[in-house]
Amino acid sequence: MGLLGTESLAAHAIAVQCCAISYMIPNGISRAATVRVGWATGAGDHLAAARSGWAAAGLGCLVMCLPAMAFWWLGPAIVELFLDSEAAPVTARLAVGFLAVAAVFQFADGAQVTMMGALRGLKDTATPMLIAVLGYGGLGLPVAAYTELH
């Protein structure tokens, strides 16, 4: 991000801070999913383990509706909490755009973290690691490199 300039870096920092705050809710649900799925698995109740995991994923997505809608519709007001948009109009415009993009991936972020917690409850940490390596390293990194070079 530092290669993109001061305004882009500042706008990105605003969007990332907002995403980090909203991520804490499904992150907490993820911890609960780990415990609930772990208890059910330990008791041999695989139906309860599945129910707990899917309930956590649904709840994680559901609670992310609020920040997604806020990022989408209230972007300028959120950015105004961080900086005076009249003093830094380019940064404010970029930050609002970044928040709109962040609104789209809030659901995936909520589902991802809660399902990761459910898989931890099953003691299956290899699957999330493999998905993360393939997603970030196999897809995200090449796409970022391609867009940077072109």
Has residue 33 been placed in a domain?
Answer: yes
CB distance 15 to 98 below 8 Å: yes
Residue span of the structural domain in which 120 resides: 2-124
| Mean pLDDT calculated for residue range 34-48 | 96
Please tell me the predicted confidence (pLDDT) of residue 127: 81
Q: Give domain status of residue 130, yes or no.
A: no
Residue 101 CA: distances (Å) to CA of 34, 68, 93: 29, 9, 13
Interval 38-44 mean pLDDT? 96
83 within a domain of the structure (yes/no)? yes
45 in a structural domain: yes
Residue 111: pLDDT over 70: yes
Residue 141 counted as domain residue: no
Top-confidence residue, 73 or 149 = 73
Residue 139 lies in a domain: no
Note the pTM of the prediction, 2 decimals: 0.79
Residue tagged 């299956």 (tokens): 124
Give the pLDDT score at 79: 96
Is 65 domain-assigned?
Answer: yes
3-state secondary structure of 106: helix
CA dihedral defined by 47, 30, 140, 92, rounded to 10 degrees?
140
For residue 2, what pLDDT is reported? 54
Classify burial at 13, counting beta carbons within 10 Å of its beta carbon; exposed 0-12, middle 13-18, buried 19 or more: middle
Structural domain contains residue 150? no
Helix 6-42 × helix 46-63 angle, to 10°:
160
Buried/exposed 107-116: b ≥16 CB within 10 Å, e otherwise: bebbbbbbbb
**Domain total in the chain:** 1
Q: What is the pLDDT of residues 7-32, one digit of tens each?
A: 999 999 999 999 999 999 999 999 99
Q: What is the pLDDT of residues 42-66, one digit of tens each?
A: 999 999 999 999 999 999 999 999 9
Give the model's pLDDT for residue 95.
Answer: 96
